[in-house]
Structure 1
Amino acid sequence: MTFQLDQFLPYRLSVAATQVSRRFAARYAAEAGLTIPEWRVLAHLGQSGAVSVRDVTARVALDKSIVSRAASRLEKAGYVRKSSHGKDQRLVALELTEAGRELMARLGKIAETFQAELLAELGADGPAFRRALLQLSKATAP
């Protein structure tokens, strides 16, 4: 049997993830002019509260330098506040400002609508697909 890239599950997952991410990115870019890394940082901070850049990096699957640059742009835009981390002064803590929380409230509605549309596209396969993604995430978690 010859290897078929289009039938290779990791490749198909990667392509699908990129396509879905770009579709969603177009929406939050239109709403707020954000990049994918900026969206990921905001979304994580919206759920976690104040955390270190290291924590954000681990959660959003981006390199530290990309997270740091995104955080700096978000800080300049007034959405994120940087401070020294309480327990370790070498770490930078990030948290949403009031403007950042207001933006996340708007973007959260856009995200919920987008997710509902994706699930509608999947139809009856949606619940099984979600379970499969969770299973794969558990299997690969460190």
Structure 2
Amino acid sequence: MKKDDFNLQDFLPYLLNRAAEESSLEFQKLYKDRYGMLRNEWRVLFHLGNNGEMTAKQIGDQARLHKTKISRAVHRLEERRYLQRSRSATDRRVENLALTALGRSVYHELCEIAGQYDTRLAAQFSEDEAALLRKMLHRLAHMV
């Protein structure tokens, strides 16, 4: 039997997924231990922190998250009083989501933690390598 020439370990989508998963799980330890948050909750919190008031659909479009995952994350963040919902004045089917004062405080604390983690992760490379990696990842992330 001929050995397959395809090397999964060098397949770019596989490598990207592994790198993303490893770095994400390591970072998750920091926010999960401190705040008990799951990955999707962190992502929703950060989208609201970065953008201000948003709908679940807007978060889903930006974060590429399924609406059921957003719904669960919103529910858990609301239980912790990190966000509040309000009905849209123009469309009663739509809820606007916004961080509460507590949610903004947690967001700012997590921004600091995320910045430190990003610095630690980037320190594995030279400044030029880290800048090139970010540039290449941005390019791949915005492929259509």
TM > 0.5 between the two?
yes
Q: Hey, what does 1:94 align to over in structure 2?
A: 97
Letter in 2 for 1:64: K
Counterpart check, 1:31 vs 2:34: yes
* Deviation readout 1:85-114 (Å, 9 max, x if unpaired): 233221121100000000011100000000
Q: Which has the higher helix share?
A: 1
Q: Distance in 1 between matches of 2:91 and 2:9?
A: 47
Letter in 1 for 2:83: V
Q: In structure 1, the residue corresponding to 2:84 is in which secondary structure?
A: strand
- Kindly state the Cα deviation for residue 11 of structure 1 after the two structures are TM-superposed: 0.8
Identity %: 34
Q: Which runs of 5+ in 2 are unaligned?
A: none
Q: Hey, what does 1:131 align to over in structure 2?
A: 135
User: Are the equivalent residues in 2 in contact too, given 1:52–1:85 (CA < 8 A)?
Assistant: no
- Kindly state the Cα deviation for residue 66 of structure 1 after the two structures are TM-superposed: 0.6
Q: Which runs of 5+ in 1 are unaligned?
A: none
Q: Distance in 2 between matches of 1:88 and 1:115?
A: 39
Q: Distance in 2 between matches of 1:41 and 1:122?
A: 29
Q: 1:116 aligns with which of 99, 115, 119?
A: 119
Structure 1, 59-68 or 96-105: larger mean CA deviation? 59-68
- Kindly state the Cα deviation for residue 122 of structure 1 after the two structures are TM-superposed: 2.2
Q: Hey, what does 1:18 align to over in structure 2?
A: 21
* Structure number with larger C-alpha Rg: 2
Q: Distance in 2 between matches of 1:48 and 1:89?
A: 22
Q: Which runs of 4+ in 1 moved over 3 A?
A: none
